[in-house]
Amino acid sequence: MIRIFRRKPNELTEKEIYNLFAEKMLVLCFRYLNNLMDAEEVLHNGFIKIFGNLKHFEEKHDNGFECWIRKIMVNESLMFLRKRTNFKLISIDSTHDDEMEPIDFKHGMETESYLKIINGLPVGYRTVFNLYAIEGYTHSEIANMLGITESTSRSQLTKARKILQQKIIKIESLYA
């Protein structure tokens, strides 16, 4: 594995790249789409794009290859979401906490539980939260990516944070 990492991305075989990043990227796609089949489809589209453009990739900094792959996967996920969801039409108050799927926390807050909480968010909140908090995009970038205004992006994030906070408090009180 270490030997693989030492090699330049262009020197890696497609299978090696796939083995290294497939599952991690599937989790990323799953975080956006909340459906394994859709996530796998997006993952495949992303890898086809990656393999097609591998010879053009130039590593400018450490971890650059993974960032590049991540960016492609995020863009593919957003493309997939845009086909199904009109982000402009998502109203801030259109969903309530009650509409979210119940999450079973048998063993308290495990790492996986955080993924479940995020996936329980409505699509608009989830997408904005993922892009802002996890990927580190700015509101103007998110607005461009989703075709919404910056204020919509901000309000979606605020609402998402509120729901997440409520969930955490609820779970913490259960296991206090």
Interface of this chain with other proteins, residues 52 to 111, rule: CB under 8 A: 111
Query: Phi, psi at residue 70, to the nearest 5°?
Result: -60, -45
User: Using the rule CB under 8 A, is 144 a contact of other proteins?
Assistant: no
Dihedral of the CA atoms 22, 46, 130, 167 (nearest 10)?
A: -50
Pick the binder of other proteins from 43, 74, 142, 148 (CB under 8 A): 43
CA 6 to chain centre: 27
Rounded Cα–Cα distance for residues 148 and 21 (Å): 31
- In the chain, which ranges are E strands? none
Tell me 91's DSSP state.
-
Which range in 13-21, 57-65, 77-85, 91-99 contacts other proteins by CB under 8 A? 13-21
Question: Segment near other proteins (CB under 8 A), from 77-85, 88-96, 143-151, 161-169?
Answer: 161-169
Indicate the residue among 43 and 81 with the shorter CB distance to other proteins.
43
* Residues listed for the chain: 176
Cβ-contact 114, 153 below 8 angstroms:
no
48 vs 174 by CB, closer to other proteins: 48
With CB under 8 A as the contact rule, the residue among 58, 59, 97, 112 that binds other proteins is 112
Residues in contact with other proteins by the rule CB under 8 A: 15, 18-19, 22-24, 26-27, 30-31, 36, 40, 43-44, 47-48, 51, 111-112, 114-116, 118, 129, 132-134, 158, 161, 164-165, 168-169
